[in-house]
Every structure is written in structure tokens, then in C-alpha cells.
Amino acid sequence: DVQVLVIPSSPCLGVATREALERAAARGQGVIATAAAGLYDGGCSYVGYGLIVALTGAARADTLESRAMAYVTIPGGSPLGTDLPPATRIEVDPGAHIALRRPGRDAFYSGYDMDPAPASRRPLLDGAIVHGPYGRGRAVFWGFELDDVVDRAWNRDVLALLVRNSVAWAAGHPLATVEAWPRGQAAAAVLAQDVESEFTNARYALDSLRAAGVPATYFLTSRLALKHRRLTRALAAHGEVGTHTDRHQLLGGAPRDSQAEWLRRTQQELTRVLGRPVAGLRPPEEQFDTATLAEWIRAGGSYVFGANNSRVAAPELLRIGADTVLLLARATDDDVIAVHSVASDPVRELTERYLADFARIRALGGLYLLSYHSQLLARPELVPALARLARAVAADRNVWRATAGEVATWWRARANLRVAAWREPAGEIMVSVHNVGSTAVEGAVLRVVLGPGERVARVELRQLPAADGIARLVLPTFGPGEARSFSIAPARTEAQAPREAA
């Protein structure tokens, strides 16, 4: 009568265990297996990847070659990645991890930059976590052991959600979350400039981005903004202005009282020019510490654009004392690295590089953040590369083009929507949504993971196109404190019969 049978760290499996797996599949139970499960028989003689292929439906399985460090990336929209931000990456110690060639993988082996890194460079042989039907039941396979995940707070938190989701899906329990971006957009893009040296070059970028119809964020050194008030106001009118400190001084590691004075002063200077405080801080050289975050909140700010070790291409809401601050971080190289790596044709090479970076983050469903500088990419001879990227972003109607501040505001509002899902005894799926925040939330889309082969037969909400086993439902505007429940009547898709157990 168990719901899920778990087989961890078991390369040698005898006949009794294999028969137990077959019985679980026949009874409609869930199975979770990890790494080299069943590569050997009960006497530890090698028998191959047959069990793993039967569990997963993979076209091929192989052992990952030796690497200094293995990375696993979870793309946005992955059923087993429910409640994880899109484009989340964790670190896994080297080992004999198993890679699968299978469409629809929930996580894949990647490089540090989240590019797929298949086993032995064989195309598409990169699946790290997959789920699917197994007989009348459900199977989840992890190609690595939980103990191999590097013991860091970020990795542990991600691992906990992946385990929760794997068990819930294998047990047939529905999963529900609010999608990462408003109105069902597949990804988001922010173009952000540090306006410092050669301050007036910002005009060239402004003209190019305005012509492309793409909003932008400009982080200004406020002492220079005081000297160029007309341009500063024009930048604010086009998109958003944040601060890059008053004199481009390094923040992280400096005494707390010094940081407090610098941040208070830059906020005052920009408020004097714009008539209102700014929300965003871009620490020079991306150096900040907890004192920076706390003092920026005290100065009236709400988000910081800094480094996060490229662990996720999405915002992070960080707890600072009794308050919170939003961290935005890039998962691609900025123009300091890119400009100095080009050769004979800088505009073409930069354009190709930025378009490839955008395509990679877009495919992961994440937030593409271009970080560039007034003295580099905004120079008149290089700004055509920025313009070409902006036009490509504008042409993609499934990407939310926003300022950093708009993304920060949305992510806070999204975090206030608390979602729970459960299945009633008769099979109906119930989802509750509660806005625990003090502001209304509009544009949210609910993503519900159904059972394998299930589709929505009836629901009161408008549906968006979705893959098999997924429901995407447009939520109405939720006022402060509002809570509502919705019911989903599922039906089985006859065209997707259960895969037979081996």
C-alpha cells in the first residue's frame, strides 16, 4: 500500500528487487531511483543500463566522464522544478553520474555558464533528472546521488525542493506554482548600463534603445548626474534610473558607517535631480556585503544588481534583518569581458556573442541581464551591437522587456502569492491561491503539474497552451489579502498510454 518505492545508491540489484519494481509498476505505484541503479545483478556482475532505460524511456544512457566539477541546471517550467526559480544551477562533486538522452528532461548536466555539457560530448546525452510513466505508475530518475551535491546552503535548499517535487509527482500528487513571468511570458530581458566614465555616451544607447522600443535601466554615478541633469532626466523618462554610488567607490568590505553615508548621499543627489528616490543600486565592480544591503534598504532602496556566482538566472528575494531586498544578477559576461575578447570586427562579434547569450537564457526561461558601461558598449563605434541585440529582444513577443525595477516589483508581488494543490478522493484537483501581500497582483499565471497522460477537462479559468500533463491557467487580479480556490477536472489523454515496465 506504499505510494512510492525508492531505490537509492543501488548498483547491484537482485531478482527480488527487480520483481518488486515490476509489481510497483503494475499496481500504479511510484518509483524513484538514483545514479547507477541496476547496472549490476544481485551478484554484482555487469548487466548494463537496461533497468534505467526501462524506468526512463531514454534513448540512451551513459556514465559521465571525469570532470573537475559537475553542474546541474534546472530550466524554467520543469515539472520537478516547481517553486524553483528558472535557470537554477547546483554543483555536484565529480563521480560516476549517469546521463540520459531523453526529451523533456527536468534537469541537465551543464557547464558553469548553464550551457548543456553532454556525456563525452555526445549530442543531447545530458539528462540529469527525468520523470515519466512506468507501467501503470510513475518513475523519477536522478543520474546522481544526493550525497554528491556540494554541501552549500543554496544547493541544500534547491535539493530539498527537487526531492519534495520528485516524491510528490511519483506519488501522484499535483504540484502548483505561479509562473516566473507575468502574462505567461516565456522569459524576461533587462538591458542595464553603468553610466560612469564618458557619461554622455549614454545618449547613444538611449537613442538606439528608444528606436528599438526597448525600455532600459541606467545606474548613474550621481556626482556626474548632477552635472548632466538634462541627460539624467531623459534617461529616467525612457526607462529607469538607479544609482552606481556617488563617486564609483567600492562598497563591499568598507566600514558600515562609510557605506551608509555614501548610499544616503547618492540617494539624496539623484532625488534632487529626479524629484523622487530611486529603487535600484548597482555596486561598483559588483562588490557588496550584508552591510551594503541593509544600508541600501535604510536609504530607501529595494533592489541591488550584483553578483550571485551565476547560480540562477532569476531574481532572489533575500532576508535582511526584519526586511527584504531583491538581488538581480547576471548569468552572462558583461562588456568588460566581452569587449576585450573581440578581434577584427567588434560589432559583429559582440552582436553574435550577445545574441547567443540571450538565446541561452531565453531557452532556460530565465532573466537575461545585459550589463554594459558608458565607456565601453555605449561608445558610438560599438553601440550598433547594442542596437542589434535590442531589436532581437523586441522581436521576440514571448519575452517580457522590462526595467530592472519592474522585474523587482513583479518578483516581490509574485512571492506574495501562496499556492497549494491537492487531489480530492474523486480525482478532482483543487488549487488554493492566497495573496499575503499589501498590494494587488495582476498578470499571474498558475502552472499545475497533473498526472502523466492527464489533461484539463474542465476549469473555470482561462487556459494557455501547455505541454502534456501541465495546466497553465490565467489568474484574475488578486487584491491584498484575497484568497480563492479553483477546481480542475482532469481527464486522461488516450493517445498517451502508459509505458510498459520491463
Q: Residue 18: how many CB atoms within 10 A of its CB?
A: 18
Q: How far apart are the first and last CA of the chain?
A: 21
**Per-residue pLDDT tens for 36-63?**
999 999 999 999 999 999 999 999 999 9
Burial of 202 (0-12, 13-18, 19+ CB in 10 A): buried
**Per-residue pLDDT tens for 139-148?**
999 999 999 9
Q: What is the mean pLDDT of residues 402-428?
A: 96
E-only strand ranges, 122-248: 125-134, 137-142, 175-178, 187-195, 217-220, 240-243
Report the distance separating Cα 47 and Cα 459, nearest Å: 47
Using left for φ > 0, alpha for ψ between -120 and 50, and beta otherwise, residue 472 falls in beta
Helix, strand or coil for residue 417? strand
Lowest mean pLDDT among 137-146, 396-405, 470-479, 487-496: 487-496
CA distances from 403 to 214, 229, 232, 276, 500 (A): 9, 21, 16, 17, 49
- Cα 376 to chain centroid distance, Å, stands at 28
Say which residues have a Cβ less than 8 Å from residue 110's Cβ, sequence separation at least 6.
71, 72, 73, 89, 116, 117, 126
Pair 385, 347: CB distance under 8 Å: yes
Helix, strand or coil for residue 298? helix
Side chain identity at 303, as an amino acid letter? Answer: Y
Torsional sign, CA 56, 57, 63, 69: negative
Q: What is the mean pLDDT of residues 240-253?
A: 97
Side chain identity at 496, as an amino acid letter? Answer: Q
The DSSP 8-state label assigned to residue 430 in this structure reads E
Strand partners, 285: none
Report the distance separating Cα 33 and Cα 56, nearest Å: 10
**Per-residue pLDDT tens for 334-374?**
999 999 888 889 999 999 999 999 999 999 999 999 999 99
The structure's pTM equals 0.94
pLDDT band at 499 (very low <50, low <70, confident <90, very high): low
Report the distance separating Cα 471 and Cα 451, nearest Å: 11
